[in-house]
Chain A
Amino acid sequence: ETGVTQSPTHLIKTRGQQVTLRCSSQSGHNTVSWYQQALGQGPQFIFQYYREEKNGRGNFPPRFSGLQFPNYSSELNVNALELDDSALYLCASSLEGQGSVQYFGPGTRLTVL
């Protein structure tokens, strides 16, 4: 186990709704990254937070947003859900550094109907 937890485990929403996913990072880690893994594909980088500041963003539309709290836990918010948003959302925590390893949580499976 990596010590990274995510909630909820599964979620079913309908098109147009909004969703909030949560991540608790491993103790001592100050960086959280979010990835989207569509079925049969590798994870795609959404964004990263370092000490509550956004530290990079992937090629995702603005309706994907997030934040990091003082305890370094994090939220991913997705507005105006689309069918293509159905995926496994992975959170990874790390201690900032060039060679640092990102440790992943079990993910949240989002289904958009």
Chain B
Amino acid sequence: AQSVAQPEDQVNVAEGNPLTVKCTYSVSGNPYLFWYVQYPNRGLQFLLKYITGDNLVKGSYGFEAEFNKSQTSFHLKKPSALVSDSALYFCAVRDDTGRRALTFGSGTRLQVQP
């Protein structure tokens, strides 16, 4: 069975500072990894994905994520946080064995203070 862990319920960061939202995963085959963001009363918006290739993936709104196979991690990062980045962030995984469902973590609330 595949699983995702987001160990922090909430991350607080000051505007302009770098941010990191942590994610670790477990899958049987090779992982396909995704980050989504959710604003209040909205659906999920896709930020970025890792399929294969470079371990550093760049996505929307200045976000990037680093894939680390040995640590089974896929942490989301941004060099300089904005107040508008405050939202709920979800990490998700699917494997390459044919199962198409995404397995999501429990989410991390990012709060960026002015």
Contact = CB atoms under 8 A, between A and B. Distances in A.
- The answer to whether A and B assemble together is yes
Interface of A: 2, 4, 31, 33, 35, 40-45, 48, 50, 55-56, 58, 90, 92, 96, 98-99, 101-107, 109
Contact of A33 (B42, B49, B102): B102
Contacts, number: 65
Counting contact residues on chain B (CB < 8 A from A), the size range is: 20 to 34
B100 A99 contact: no
B96 interface: yes
Which residue of A48, A96, A99, A105 has the most chain B CB atoms within 10 A of its CB atom? Answer: A99
Contacts of B86: none
Contacts of A2: 43, 45-46
A48 B41 CA distance: 23
Given A98-B96, A103-B46, A109-B41, 7 more contacts: A40-B107, A42-B92, A43-B102, A55-B100, A92-B102, A99-B32, A104-B43
A99 to B, nearest CB: 4
A45 B41 CA distance: 19
Contacts of B103: 45
A99 B49 contact: yes
A42 B106 contact: yes
B44 A104 contact: yes
B49 A42 contact: no
Contacts of B102: 33, 35, 43, 45, 92, 102
Contacts of B101: 33, 45, 48, 56, 58
B36 A104 contact: yes
B44 A43 contact: yes
17 contacts: A2-B46, A33-B100, A33-B102, A35-B102, A41-B107, A42-B106, A43-B104, A45-B102, A56-B100, A90-B44, A92-B44, A92-B102, A98-B32, A98-B96, A104-B45, A106-B42, A109-B41
